[in-house]
Structure 1
């Protein structure tokens, strides 16, 4: 049975909204994160579902204080990569972001679970 969860790397610093990186650095980080999400979603063989529900869980690399409200913006490139792999427009996705972080995990990780459309 295939898992419907993928494990993305912890978002690069340039993907955080408050980071003052150059346009080129941000663009490169977005491109790499989108490609990572695309490859993992293809490998997971997620079905084509333009109204998929994506649930995110963020496990930080350390106990440093972070603002959970900044998490959704770090995932835009990943959501685009998942939509690319599914060959759908991400406009119909319902993305669920947690109000708090998950447990600390070495290196950090973002877990994305896909579910069918909520009826």
Structure 2
């Protein structure tokens, strides 16, 4: 099983983020692209059919953020992974784990079939 590793996503990706839509759109596009490239580099594969378990481990850079908001930052990441796998992201069943902070922070994502 391969691990897709990405930097820790910024709060600007959250649905609650304030600011002009154009700036957020550029940030969203960048993260979607990064996730696509990282998925291809990890040579991740999806099962041909059925649900796909997406296990996300959040390793935050510090203790300042609210863990309940971390999943809100993942939409462009999951979209990029789905693009790279050639699947619709509605098949994803996300599972979240929260690790102790480590600088600079990261996401560790594994993909697998549902059991």
- TM-score, normalised via structure 2 length: 0.88
Q: Which of the two has greater strand per residue? A: 2
Q: Matches of 2:56 and 2:68 in 1, distance apart?
A: 13
Q: Which moved more, 1:21-30 or 1:45-54?
A: 45-54
- Give the equivalent residue in structure 1 for 2:8: 10
Shift, 1:19, TM fit: 2.2
Q: What's the secondary structure of 1:97's corresponding residue?
A: strand
Once the two structures are superposed, the pairs formed by residues 41-80 of structure 1 within 5 Å of their partners are 41-49=39-47, 51-64=51-64, 66-80=65-79
Kindly report the root-mean-square deviation, in angstroms, between the aligned alpha carbons of the 2 structures: 1.5
Gaps of at least 5 residues in structure 2 are none
When the two structures are aligned, how many residues end up with a matched partner? 113
Shift, 1:15, TM fit: 0.6
> Does the 8 Å contact 1:9/1:110 carry over to 2?
yes
- TM-score, normalised via structure 1 length: 0.85
- Give the equivalent residue in structure 1 for 2:107: 110
Q: Matches of 1:62 and 1:68 in 2, distance apart?
A: 11
Gaps of at least 5 residues in structure 1 are none
Runs of 4+ in 1 over 2 A off after TM superposition: 16-19, 48-51
